Homo-oligomer: A and B are copies of this chain.
Amino acid sequence: MSLSPLLQELISSLRALPGVGPKSAQRMALHLLERDRAGALALAASLESAVERIGECERCRNLSEQALCSICDDGTRDRHVVCVLESPVDLMAVEQTGGFNGVYFVLKGHLSPIDGIGPDELGLDRLFALVEAGDVTELILATNPTVEGEATAHYIAEQLEDSDVNITRIAHGVPVGGELEFVDGGTLAHAFAGRRSLRRGADD
């Protein structure tokens, strides 16, 4: 098909976006050109300034345009509790619950020797330095409940065995609002193994 070369280029550039195939890219390109040229220019400007200016927080490795991200820089957050996550997306998910007031440490991945991702790539030296500096009382390991995420959590716990920081792992179990019938066996087994007494005080 004989399309304008610039249009063709725009369509193929749009495919850099996750989940955008050839048809959606075409639809997006035409929508922007026909109905929202101002939006297209604003998007171009945002992309440029984001790529240019967003780096990582020097303390927690979260995406940030300052040396310290807004969470690390927030005096009201409890710096004694550090939640370890695999990626900024996970951080956003936790932040959106509004229930966590500590700070984070973003690994940007999980241990995966096959892909050449070891402790250095995850910045674990910085995490351990943070813990050894002594002002961390609890380290919540919230890596994903996958084989690699579990391995990463166990590796971190093992390395910190001798420190006196309290190391915890987020609970695995039946999702709230889920039905037992549709929950996989592994999750159910976790839910049973991690059962808690309903008698007041029995568990604490």
A interface list, Cβ under 8 A from B: 1-7, 9-10, 13-14, 16-19, 24, 26-34, 36-37, 39-51, 53-54, 63-66, 69-71, 74, 87-89, 92, 95-96, 108
Chain B min CB distance to A71 (Å): 6
- Out of B13, B30, B53, B63, which one reaches A30, CB within 8 Å? B63
- Known A-B contacts A16-B36, A95-B1; the reply to A6 vs B50 at CB < 8 A is yes
- Known A-B contacts A63-B4, A63-B30, A65-B4; the reply to A9 vs B41 at CB < 8 A is no
Chain B min CB distance to A32 (Å): 7
Closest 10 CB pairs of A and B: A16-B39, A44-B47, A13-B46, A2-B70, A44-B44, A13-B43, A10-B50, A10-B46, A18-B31, A1-B95
Determine the chain B residues whose CB is within 8 A of the CB of A45 once the complex forms.
13, 44
5 additional A-B pairs beyond A18-B28, A32-B51, beta carbons within 8 Å, are A2-B74, A9-B50, A13-B43, A16-B36, A19-B27
Determine the chain B residues whose CB is within 8 A of the CB of A74 once the complex forms.
2
Determine the chain B residues whose CB is within 8 A of the CB of A27 once the complex forms.
18-19, 89
Determine the chain B residues whose CB is within 8 A of the CB of A54 once the complex forms.
4, 6-7, 33
Chain B min CB distance to A113 (Å): 20
Contact yes or no, A6 B42, CB < 8 A: no
Chain B min CB distance to A95 (Å): 5
- Out of B24, B43, B108, which one reaches A19, CB within 8 Å? B24
Contact yes or no, A70 B28, CB < 8 A: no
Contact yes or no, A50 B33, CB < 8 A: yes
Determine the chain B residues whose CB is within 8 A of the CB of A65 once the complex forms.
4-7
The complex places the Cα of A6 from the Cα of B51 at a distance, in Å, of 9
- Known A-B contacts A17-B28, A41-B51, A42-B13; the reply to A34 vs B2 at CB < 8 A is no
